[in-house]
Every structure is written in C-alpha cells, then in structure tokens.
Structure 1
Amino acid sequence: MSEPKTAHLSRLWDEFRGMPFPRDFHLREPEGVCMVSLDTYLAGCISVALDGPLDDWRREVLLRLTASLGKVLPSLGDDAYGLEYFTHLHEMALLAAELDAARGE
C-alpha cells in the first residue's frame, strides 16, 4: 500500500460519508443480519479507529460484524449500489481492524 494505513482509511471514510445508505436496505436482513445495525456499528468502530486504538468492546464488535458482512456480501449482488456501499464498508472495516491490530503490536 503506497499511502499509510491511517491516511488510506481516512480517504475511504471521507468517500463513504458522502454515500447515502442504499435504498430499501433498511428492510433487508440477508441471512438474518440487520443491515442498518451492521452499518451503524461498523461505521462507529471505524470512526473511533481513525482516532486511536479501539477498546475491547469495539474491537470485538468490529471483528464480529466484519465477518458477518463478509458472509452476506455475495447475497447483495441483486442491487449494484447496495453491493458497492457495503463492499466499501467492508473494505474500511478490514482496514480499521488491521490498523488497530498494528497499534497493539
């Protein structure tokens, strides 16, 4: 990666903040996953990770929900924008977890 992880995550975060939540995803729960809650909790964890290390609770939430999102992403292919939005969120969550782990080393 050519840019430092924090700068890369910050750039992705700025892009994401301009993306509206996908239409009709407030009603979707693929594989029982509430996409609104997943979005809210992951975005909160990512936001905190931009400023410093995560506490244990946020770290566990970030890891658990990142895995959940990774599992449901393939089922979102029927909505191009929804897939783009949640793929972007997943990329940020993976990067936030990587950044947080590096801070703990």
Structure 2
Amino acid sequence: MAADEVARLWDAHVHAPFPLALRDAEIAGIDMVLLDAYTAGCVSSWLSSGGRLDAWRRTAIASCLAELNTVLPLLTDPTQAAYYRRLRDLACCICAESTTANECP
C-alpha cells in the first residue's frame, strides 16, 4: 500500500510548482531548495529501486523528515505549507517502509 501512496503523492509533487518565495530562503537554518532536492532524490531512488534505499539514503530521508518537521510549523503561506507537507508525507511513507524505520523520527 505504501508504494501506491508514494506514487500518488510523487505524481502530485512533480506536477506542483516550487514556491518561488522560497527559492533562496532558509527557515530555521534549513535551505528550502536543498530540503526539497534531497527529499525528492530519496523518493525518486526509492521508487526506482522497488522500495529500497541504501544506508546513506535511509539516513538522508530520516534527516529530511526531521527538517520537514522543523520547518512545517513555520510556514504560514498555505501553498508553501501544502508543498512541504506533501514532501513530509512522502518521507513518512518511505521511513515507515524502511527496514530501519527506527532511524526515522
């Protein structure tokens, strides 16, 4: 079931425009473009590898999830919040399916 949810969320994400106001933004010391890129890279790898991630990407997605949890409460614009909430949902799905789910917050 997680693979279907990830595929659905991923399709929505790749068709959503990046929030322009966050292009050069840091929130709580977190670069928003890099957070998007790292999370998206892990999701793409997870999808292309049949739902598996190597150790480096498992650590990276857990870190992305922690950062998403930090920035989401600080996003007041609904469009920005929806964009990053979808990334968080993707990261949560992947962490839940990870063989080392205990590494994910």
Superposed, 1:79-98 pairs within 5 Å as: 79-98=77-96
TM-score (norm 2): 0.88
Aligned equivalents of 1:36 and 1:62: distance in 2?
15
Aligned equivalents of 1:89 and 1:52: distance in 2?
17
TM-score (norm 1): 0.88
**2:40 paired with 1:43:** yes
Aligned residues between the structures: 99
Alpha-carbon offset, residue 102 of structure 1: 7.8
List runs of 5+ in structure 1 lacking aligned partners: none
CA RMSD of aligned residues (A): 1.5
List runs of 5+ in structure 2 lacking aligned partners: none
**2:47 paired with 1:69:** no
**2:14 paired with 1:17:** yes
Is the CA contact (8 Å cut-off) linking 2:58 and 2:100 kept in structure 1?
no
Q: What is the one-letter code of the residue matched to 1:60?
A: T
CA offsets 1:10-67 (integer angstroms, 9 cap, x no match): 1111111100101110121111000000100000001111233101111111001110
